[in-house]
Structure 1
Amino acid sequence: MRLRRADGPVHLLRAYLIRGFSNGNNTYRDGLKLNGLANTSDTAFIERVEVLKGPAAMLYGRIQPGGMVNFVTKRPQEEAAYSMQEQFGSWGLSRTTIDATGPLDKEKTLLYRVIGVYDRADDFIDFRHRDNGSVLARLAWRPIEQFEANLSFQYDHLQTANRVSYGQMVPALAQSFAVPGFVGRPAGLPRNWTQLDPKWYDEFPDVMEHILVAADWTYRFDNQWSVTNRFHYNHADEMQYYLLSRGYNLTTGQMNRKLIWSCGYSDMYYLNLYVNGEVETGPLKHKLLFGFDYLWYHQVYKDDNPPGTPPAGFPLQPIPALNVWAPNYSGIDYYSLHGFIGQGSGNLLSRSNQINFGYYVQDDISYEDFIHFLIGGRYDAAFDRGTEIFGATQSAAGAQCYPFCDGHYNPSWKGNRTERKISPNGGLLVKLNESFSIYASYSESFSNSNAAAQSADATPFKPQEGQQFEVGAKASLFDGRMTGSIAAFDIYLSNILTPDPRFPNSSFQIAAGKVRNRGVELDVAGQITNNISIIGSYTNSDAIVLKSNITGTGAILGKRWPGIPRHAGNLWVKYDTASGGKEGFTFGGGFYANGERQGNTTNSWQLPAYVRFDAMVGYRFVLQNVPIEAQLNVMNIADTKYLESSDGALNAAYGAPRTFVGSLKVKF
C-alpha cells in the first residue's frame, strides 16, 4: 500500500494512492464522505488515519477498489486538558496550535473540545505562500450509559498561491525513438523553479472559505445491538487562480503560459444510518450490519479554462512566454488580466449535481472463532448531472467558454442516466492458531462518477467500476505487540480517467477502458520491545492498461499506468528511552523509496527512482509540574533531489529538499 504521510503541518488536500489507484481526491471524515472543494482537514484535528481495504472498505460507498482513507478527528475528553504548541521551520514556517478539552458539568455528561490553528509559511518553490487559519469546536453529550451524541463545527480560511498540484510544472522531455538510448525525463530545472510570477500571490491568491457542521448519535440497546446515525453538511466558497503551462518548445526552451481562473461554491449533505448486532444460530455466531446512506452534492462554477491554442478571433491572454532555462519574471499585464476576469465575473459556466442512495448489508459468520466467513454487499442508485456548460459547447476544436461565458444556457449534455449497481463482497478467514491466520476475499466497487470530467467531444463518461481479488496471511507477534501481513491482490478498474494524450495542455480526459494492477503487499507495525517500535510496508505492483480504444500516437494499450512504481517501500523505527514515562528522549528514523514511474499513459517519459531519508529527535520533561515536549523533525535529511509526482500528461513536480520543523508543546 502507498499512502502519503502528512509530515508537514498542512491541510490534507491531496488524493491518496492505495494499491496504485488514486482515491480521486475523495476521503472520509469520521466515516462520512468528503469530496470536491470541501476535501480539507487540518492535521491538528486528526486523532488517527484509518486505511481500509477489501470488503470492509466497500460498505462505505462509492470508492475506488483499492480501498479508502478515513480521518478520525479528536474527540472531547472527560479530564480537563489544555495545550499550546508552536512550530517553526524552513521557509519561514510559523504555526500555532491551541487545544482545550474537558467536562462542562460535574457529572461529565457534557464534554467539549476546541482546537485552533494558525499556519503561515513560504515554500521551497519560488513565489508560493500560504496563510491559513482553522478552528474545530465539538460537544459530546452522554446523559445515560446507553446513549451518546456529538455535535461539531469546523471553519477553515485557506489562502495560497497556486495550490499544491499546480505550484510547479516542470516540463517533460519525451522519449525520442530516433535517438538510441535517449530516455524521456523531466527537464533538469532547479527545485525552486516555477512558472509562477513574483506578484502572483499579491494579485491572485487562492482563497477558500470552508464550513462543516457534523452530528452523530449512538444508542446501545444492550451489549450486542446498537444503532448509529451520522450526518454532515459541507459548504465551500473558493476563488482559484492558476498560472499554468500552455505548451513548451523543446528547442527554444520557451514555455507559453495561461491563466485559469474559477469562482465556485459547493454544498454537500451526507447521511448514514446503520444497525449492528450479534445473534447465534446453533454453533454459528453472526455479526450483522444493516445500513443506509445518502449523498447530495451540488457545485456551481464561474471560470475560464482556455485551450493550448485559442480559437480564431480570440486574443492570447496578456501573459508573456517564459524561458525555463533563463526565466525573466516580468511583463505580465495584471491590469489587463483583472479586466479579463472582470468581464466574465457575472457569467455562469457550469453546474453539476450528484445524488446517491446506498443500501448495504454484511454478515460475519464465525465457528468457534476458528473460521470466519464474511458475506455482504451494497446496492447503489446514483444520478450524476455532469458538468452543464453555459455559453459555449465544449469541444476539441473550441474552448471551454473562452475567453468568458456569454451567460446563455447551452448545455453540452445534461448528465448521466440514473445508474443502479449491486456490488457484492465476501471473504474467508481461517485461524491456524492464536497468532497466525490466512484469508481470501473478493469485492466489487462502484466508485467515482466521472460526471464532472470533460471529454473532447462532450460525450459523458460512465462511472468507474472495479473488482478486487485478494489472498493473504496475518500474524500477531510478541504477545500481540506487533502485527504483520502479506497480501497478493489483483485489481481491475474500468472507465478510469486520464488526460487525453491527443490534446496536450487541455483539460480534456479519456476513459482508459480497463486497467489492471496486480501485486504483493507486506505490512508490519507495532512494538519490538518496550522501547522500540516500527512501522513499514513494501509493495510490488504491475499496473497495465488491458483495454483501450485509443490508436495512433496516443495509443495506451499495454502501457504501464502512470505514477505506479514496480517497487515501493517505507520503514520508520522509533526508540524511546522511557516509554510511557513523563521524561525521556525519543529518536526516530526511516526512509521512503519509490522505483521508476511512468509520467504519462503513453509511457514516453518517466519519473526516476529515489530514496528519501527522514529523522527526528524529541525530549519531554516536566518543569514546575508542567509537561513540556520539544521535537525536531528533518525530512529528506540527505537533501535528495527527486521528482515526487506527475500530472499524467506533460509535467512533473519536485519533492521538497531538506526540511526542518521544530516544535515546542506545553501541556496544562
Structure 2
Amino acid sequence: MAQEQASGADILVTGVRQPYRGDFALSEIPQAITGIDGETLQQNAIVRLTDALDLNASISRQNTLGGLWDAFAVRGFAGDENLPTGYLVNGFNGGRGFGGQRDVAGIERIEVLKGPAAALLGRGEPGGTVNLITKQADLGGSFGNAALQLGSFDTIRGDIDANLLVTDGLAVRLVGYAEDGGSFRDTVEQNRRGLLPSVGLALGRATRLTYDLEWTRVAAPFDRGILVLDGDFTSVPRERFLGEPGDGDTAARANGHQLRLQHEFSDRWSLLVGASLRDTLLTGFSSDAELVPSRQRVYVDGRSLSRQRRSRRYDSRQWVIRAELSGEFDTAGLTHRVLVGADHDRFDNDQLFFRFRPPAIATQTSDGAGFVIDILDPEYGRLPLPAPGLLNNRLDTQRSTGIFVQDQISLTNRLQVRVGGRYDDFALRTDNRITGVTSHSDRGRFSPQAGVVFEMSAPVTLYAAYGEGFRANIGTDVTGLIFEPETSESKEVGAKLALFGGRLTGTLSAFQLDKSNVLASDTNNPGFSVAIGAARSRGIELDLAGKLPGAVEVLVSYAYIDAEARSSVLDPNFSFQVRPGDPLINIPRHNGNVQLSKRFTFSGRNAQLGAGIQHVGSRSGETGTAFTLPAHTLVRLFGEIELTKGLELFGTAQNLFDERWYANSYHPLWVQPGTPRTVTVGLRATM
C-alpha cells in the first residue's frame, strides 16, 4: 500500500501501491492471502525463493530443471512443466523466463494470493499466485544495511541494501549480492551475482515515478540428483553426482526493467500505469539418466547407469504494459469500491535443444555407446562426451490482452459483496524450424468472479468466493498440434481471524479447484507437452501470524491438499495408465510449518532466538505409478545478538538433525535429494 501524509487537501506519496489490490484491508478481501516478510527471510538466512516458499504450507516443490529454475505448485496445481512456474513481480508477470532460481536479496516481502482471483489477475493457476514485492526506493529517508555470511560447503555471500535520499523528491536504492561456494553434491559448485537497484522520483506531491532494474547471473552444473532402485532410497549416497563435470556450468542470466507511475487524484481515487521488460537466457550441457527401461543398463546389472547428453539454449523475452484505476463512490446509500484496468503481455520463448541418447540394451552394447557411469564407483571423464543431435528448434510467441473490472459493494457495515470479471484475448504462434510447420491459435474468454464478506464479530470475518480462469497452453505436441486452453473453476469458503486484540491474525479456509486440458511434459520429446486431461484439488488450510501472550512471535501454516487426476489417460512415454483418483506428482496431502521466536535483552544487548519445524508428507514421485517420496520433518534454529550499536552477529542451523529427505522427483532415476545439515554465521551492519 502507498504511504500517504495529509497536509490540508494535499496528499504526499512516499511509498508504492500494489497492483490488483485496491484500497482494502486483508479482512475485507474474499480470498486467502498470506505473506512472508523480509524479517522472516532474514531470521532464517533464506537466500532462494524456493526455500522461502517452504514457509507456506499451501505451496509444494516441483521439478526445477536440475536446479536451474523455480517450480512450485499452489494448492496442488503447478502449471506448465516445460516452463518455470509463473509469478508476479510488483504485479507484473515475471516468472516464466530462464534466469535461474530467484534470489531473495531484492525482495521486501512475498505475497501468496490464494484462491479464485483469476478473473482479476488473469492467466494464472486456479490455486493462486505468488507476488514478489521488491525493495523499492523510499522517499522517506536514508537507511541501509550490509551483511557478510559464511556457511557450510565453503559458501561465502555478501549483501548490500542502501536507500539514499538524494533530494526531497528523489531517492535511489542500491541492492546487490554475490555468492560463491560448493554444495553437498560431489563436484557441484555455484556462482551467483545480482544488482537490483531502484529509483523513486516524486513528480509533485501526488505523483510518483519508480524504476527498477534486475541484473542477475547464475553459473552452476545441471544436476538431476540421484536414483532410487527398487524403492531403495540408499541406492547411492545423497552426495553422489551422476552427471559429468566435463559438461561445465549451465549459465542463466536475466536483464529486467520495470517503470511504474502512481498518481493519487484524491484520498479516494488513484491510478497506476506501468511497463515491464525482461530478457533471459539459459545455456549449457548436461548428462542425465536415460529413463526408458529398454535403453537403461542399470536395470540389468544394478550399477551401470546409461545416460543421455543434452544441450540447451533457452532464450525468452517478456514485456507487459498495464494500467489500473481504483477508487470509491456512493450511490443509493451504498459504497462502491471499484477497480478497472487493462494489460497486454507478449512472451517469446525460443528453444534450441540437442540430445544424444543411448541405444537399446544388447549384449554387444559398449559403455561408450551407452555413455555409462558406474553409480557405485563413478569415474568422471572416463568416456568421450557424445555429441548431441538437433531435437527441437522452435519459437513460441504468445500475445494476450485483458481487461478487468471489479466492484465491492458495502451493503451494511458488516456485509460486503464483490462482483467482477475479466475478458482475455490470446494469440499463440509456434514456428517449428525443423519441420517448417507453423501453428496458430486464437482464443477469447470471459472469466467471472464473485465473493461475499461478512463480519460476524470483531475477531471473526466470514467469506466465500467463486471464480473461473482461462490460460492458454503455450507450445505444441511433437506433431505441431496446439492444445486447447486450460480452463478452471474455483470455490472457496473461509474465516479471517483477529485474535488477542489483533496481535494474532490468520485465515482458515476450505477450497475445491477443478481444471481441464491439463498438460504434462513429454519426456521422449523434451520441450514438448502431452495432454493428461482433467484434474481436481481440494483441501483445508490454516495460516496464523503475529504474537502470542508473552511477546512470542509465531508463524503457523498448515495445508491438507487432495490433488488428483480426473481423467483416464495412457501416458505416452512409459505406457503407464493415469486413472481418475491418481495423485498429482509431488503434492503431499499434509504439509505444515511452525515457527516461534522471542526477542530479549542479554547482558544489555538486544538478542533474538527462534526455532521452526517443517513437515512434508509422503507424495507421488512419478505420474501413474506407485513410486512415492517418503515424508520428512526438518528442524531449524536461528538467532542474533547485537555486538555494538548497528552491528549484529547472526546464525542459523537448517535441518538440525541431518534428516535424509527429498525435495522433488520426476522419475525414480531423477530424484532431487534435500540439503543435509547446514550452518550459517554472519555479521550485519545497519545504518
Q: Report the TM-score, using the length of structure 2 for normalisation.
A: 0.84
* AA in 2 matched with 1:428: V
Q: Which residue of 2 aligns with 1:93?
A: 155
**1:72 lines up with 2:72 in the alignment:** no
- 1:570 equivalent in structure 2: 593
For 2:395, which of 344, 351, 365 is the aligned residue? 351
- Range with greater deviation from structure 2 (543-552 or 639-648): 543-552
1:425 corresponds to 2:449? yes
Between the aligned partners of 1:86 and 1:171, the Cα distance in structure 2 is 36
* In the alignment, structure 1 residue 332 sits paired with structure 2 residue 383: yes
Counterparts of 2:465 and 2:374 in 1: how far apart (Å)? 53
Deviations 1:568-587 (A, max 9, x none): 111111111159x9941111
Decide whether the 8 Å contact of 2:368 with 2:383 is kept in 1. Answer: no
- 2:106 aligned with 1:83: no
Q: Does 2:597 align with 1:537?
A: no
Unaligned runs of 5+ in 1: 175-183, 392-409
1:111 aligned to 2:171?
yes
Amino acid of the structure 2 residue aligned with 1:84? A
Tell me the CA shift for residue 20 of structure 1: 1.3
Contact 2:537–2:564 (8 Å) recurs in 1: yes
Q: CA deviation at 1:527?
A: 1.2
Q: What CA deviation, in whole Å up to 9, does each residue of 1:529-573 have, x standing for no partner? A: 463111111111222211133289521112111111121111111
Tell me if the contact between 1:320 and 1:331 (Cα under 8 Å) persists in the aligned partners.
no
Alpha-carbon deviations, 1:435-477, whole Å to 9, x = none?
Answer: 1111111111213x33235x35443322222111111112101
2:339–2:407 CA contact under 8 A, matched in 1: yes
8 Å CA contact retained: 2:116, 2:490 = no
Q: What is the aligned partner in structure 2 of residue 397 from structure 1?
A: none
Per-residue deviation, 1:169: 3.4
Match of 2:65 in 1: none
2:658 maps to which residue? Answer: 639
* Structure-2 change in CA distance of 1:621 and 1:278 (3 Å): farther
**Amino acid in the other structure paired with 1:359:** I
Amino acid at match of 1:265: D
Letter in 2 for 1:271: I
Residue 360 of structure 1 deviates from its aligned partner by 0.7
SS at match of 2:105: helix
The one of 214, 224, 235 equivalent to 1:188 is 235
> Are the structure 2 counterparts of residues 504 and 62 from structure 1 closer, same or farther at C-alpha, using a change threshold of 3 Å?
same
Task: State percent identity of aligned pairs.
Answer: 24
Structure 2 vs 1, CA of residues 310 and 615 (structure 1 numbering), >3 Å: closer, same or farther?
A: same
Paired position in structure 1 for 2:541: 521
Give the equivalent residue in structure 2 for 1:121: 181
CA–CA distance in structure 2, aligned partners of residues 505 and 301 of structure 1: 13
Higher relative contact order (CA 8 A, sep 6+): 2
Cα contact 1:23–1:68 (8 A) shared by 2: no
Q: Which residue of 2 aligns with 1:32?
A: 92
1:260-659 to structure 2, matched below 5 A, reads: 260-306=310-356, 309=359, 320-334=371-385, 337=386, 340=387, 349-386=393-430, 388-391=431-434, 410-411=435-436, 413-447=437-471, 449-452=472-475, 455-500=477-522, 509-529=529-549, 531-550=551-570, 553-558=575-580, 559-577=582-600, 583-623=605-645, 627-647=646-666, 650-659=669-678
Are 2:302 and 1:250 aligned? no
Equivalent residue for 2:22? Answer: none
2:66 corresponds to: none
Farther off after superposition, 614-623 or 111-120: 614-623
Residue 9 of structure 1: how far off its partner (Å): 2.4
Distance of 2:600 and 2:375 partners within structure 1: 50
Letter in 1 for 2:594: L
Q: Which amino acid aligns with 2:683?
A: L
- The answer as to whether partners of 1:531 and 1:578 remain within 8 angstroms in 2 is no
Quote the residue 2:120 is aligned against: 59
Distance 1:604 1:451 in 2: 30
Partners in 1 of 2:510 and 2:228 — Cα distance? 34
Q: Which amino acid aligns with 1:663?
A: G
Matching residue of 1:405: none
Deviation of 1:621 (Å): 4.1
Alpha-carbon offset, residue 186 of structure 1: 4.7
Where in structure 2 are there 5+ consecutive unaligned residues? Answer: 1-31, 51-68
CA contact 1:246–1:257 (8 Å) conserved in 2: yes
Letter of the 1:149 counterpart: L
Q: Distance in 2 between matches of 1:331 and 1:147?
A: 64
Rounded Cα–Cα distance in structure 2 between residues aligned with 1:536 and 1:506: 39
- Counterparts of 2:233 and 2:470 in 1: how far apart (Å)? 35
Distance 1:221 1:321 in 2: 68
- 1:597 Cα offset (Å): 0.4
SS in 2 for 1:36: coil
* 1:20 equivalent in structure 2: 76
Kept after mapping to 2: 8 A contact 1:383/1:417: yes
Report the equivalent of 1:660: 679
Matched residue SS, 1:577: strand
Amino acid at match of 1:618: E
Aligned to 2:61: none
The range that moved more, 266-275 or 548-557, is 548-557
Residue 236 of structure 1 deviates from its aligned partner by: 1.8
Write the distance in 1 (CA, Å) between the matches of 2:527 and 2:348: 21
2:161 touches 2:173 (CA, 8 Å); kept in 1?
A: yes
Pairwise CA distance, 1:127:
1.7
1:182-219 Cα offsets, whole Å, 9 max, x none, are xx46563211012123444xxx2112232111100111
The two structures have a TM-score, normalised by structure 1, of: 0.86
CA displacement at 1:485 relative to structure 2:
1.9
**Are the counterparts in 2 of residues 588 and 615 from structure 1 also a CA contact under 8 Å?**
yes
In structure 2, relative to structure 1, the CA distance for the partners of 1:539 and 1:278 (3 Å cut) is same
CA distance in 2, matches of 1:194, 1:458: 36
Shift of 1:507: 5.8
Q: What does the per-residue CA deviation read over 1:367-405, in whole Å, with 9 as the maximum and x for residues that have no partner? A: 23301111112111011223x3323xxxxxxxxxxxxxx
One-letter identity of the residue aligned with 2:208 = E
C-alpha distance in 2 between matches for 1:429 and 1:518: 21
Aligned equivalent of 2:195: 135
Distance change >3 Å, CA 547–CA 101, structure 1 → 2: same
State the match for 1:402 in structure 2: none
The structure-2 alpha-carbon separation of the partners of 1:319 and 1:598, relative to structure 1 and needing over 3 Å to count, comes to same
User: SS state of the match for residue 227, structure 2?
Assistant: strand
| Residue matched to 1:399 | none
Q: Distance in 2 between matches of 1:506 and 1:298?
A: 18
CA contact (8 A) 1:562 1:648 kept: no
- Offset of 1:82 from its aligned partner? 3.3
CA deviation after TM superposition for structure 1 residue 517, in Å: 1.0
> 1:469·1:490 contact (CA, 8 Å) conserved in 2?
yes
Partner of 1:415, secondary structure, is strand
Tell me which residue corresponds to 1:9: 47
Alignment partner, residue 255 of structure 2: 211
- State the alpha-carbon separation in 2 of the partners of residues 120 and 8 from structure 1: 15
**Shift, 1:650, TM fit:** 4.9
Residue matched to 1:234: 278
Which range is displaced more, 49-58 or 593-602? Answer: 49-58
